[in-house]
Amino acid sequence: MALLNFRRKDTSAPTTTSPEVEALLKDYSIEVMPRTAEKVEDFRDLLPAETRVYIAHIEGTPIEDMVATAKRLNEGGFKVMPHFPARIIKDKATLADWISRYQGEADVKQALLLAGGVASPHGDFSDSMQLLETGLFDEAGFERLHVAGHPEGNRDIDSDGSTTNVDAALKWKNDFQTRTDAEMALATQFAFDADPIIKWADDLREAGITLPVHIGIAGPAKLQTLIKFAIACGVGPSLKVLQKRAMDVTKLLLPYEPTDVINTLAAHKAANPDFNITHVHFFPLGGIKTNATWAQENGGASAVPANAD
């Protein structure tokens, strides 16, 4: 079973990566928020050109801040994918306004549609399927639409711990892709253990779900930070792995790096070319710079600094 890597990195030794890991990390994506993006002087110093950057829309964030962040990233040469959380969008007119702003001010052509993390809808929408059914993204000519996936289920959707509703939603979204010109994929919640991820992905394929999977991976961070975010995001069995590790004081103080889960997924994909996990999507819970540096040192493409000759 692939568990977390809590070893301290030997910075005196040269970093080597396998071709399998390099292939898995090719064209990885990363997630930011307007307030975290403000702390980055120039993303071109951290991320490879044309990296897909998701912009998480947290409840209470003004749309103006979201659009400004999207514009900045687009002007920096990145593929911008803002979140559209259904439960904080009041109505179709609001959705149309957001789409218009993103396209008119930031030339956005991609979006992640999801229910969002609030308990009760603020208006007419409660899930991403309702957003898709408006037809507004198709009318606006979006080139890529991602929807959420949950390798460990989602208690907000299936309160009984099953995957009944999640599975039905995936089937609906998979069928929807045949009715749109936009490319679609699943972007998932983060998890820490590769074996259940692999089983989940294989189960999708057996169920006829052909949407490519962009697997969520938590970037390097302190264990305490990971536990906090895992609880807030409803991470399933992986949380027990973290909690068990936290009971060991010597390991509690060590940084987490996603080395083991990445290595195991990469090896599996190399041995199974039809594996439906096609990309890695990083949640930079320990900081954008920390995550970007780790990716570069462990097989991801290098950034080209903005002031490079």
- Is residue 112 included in any domain, yes or no? yes
What are the pLDDT digits (tens) for 34-80? 999 999 999 999 999 999 999 999 999 999 999 999 999 999 999 99
pLDDT band at 119 (very low <50, low <70, confident <90, very high): confident
- Is residue 12 included in any domain, yes or no? no
The per-residue pLDDT for 249 is: 52
What are the pLDDT digits (tens) for 134-164? 999 999 999 999 999 988 765 566 555 556 6
The per-residue pLDDT for 118 is: 84
Residues 11-34, mean pLDDT to the nearest whole number: 83
- Is residue 223 included in any domain, yes or no? yes
Q: Which residues span the domain enclosing 173?
A: 19-297
- Kindly report the pTM of this predicted structure: 0.88
- Is residue 274 included in any domain, yes or no? yes
Residues 180-184, mean pLDDT to the nearest whole number: 93
- Is residue 28 included in any domain, yes or no? yes
Q: What is the CATH number of the domain that holds 223?
A: 3.20.20.220
H-assigned helices in the chain: 19-25, 34-37, 63-75, 92-106, 128-133, 136-139, 164-176, 194-206, 223-232, 238-246, 249-252, 259-271, 288-297
- Is residue 257 included in any domain, yes or no? yes
- Is residue 7 included in any domain, yes or no? no
- Is residue 205 included in any domain, yes or no? yes
H-assigned helices in 2-89: 19-25, 34-37, 63-75
d(CA 165, CA 127): 12
pLDDT band at 86 (very low <50, low <70, confident <90, very high): very high
Residue 242 in 3-state DSSP?
A: helix
- Is residue 87 a contact partner of residue 56, using CB atoms and an 8 Å limit? no
88-94 long-range contacts, CB within 8 A, separation 24+? 88/57, 88/59, 88/116, 88/118, 88/122, 89/122, 89/123, 89/124, 89/125, 89/131, 90/122, 90/123, 90/124, 91/123, 91/124, 91/125, 92/124, 92/134, 92/136, 94/123
| Mean pLDDT (the chain, rounded) | 86
| Total count of domains within the chain | 1
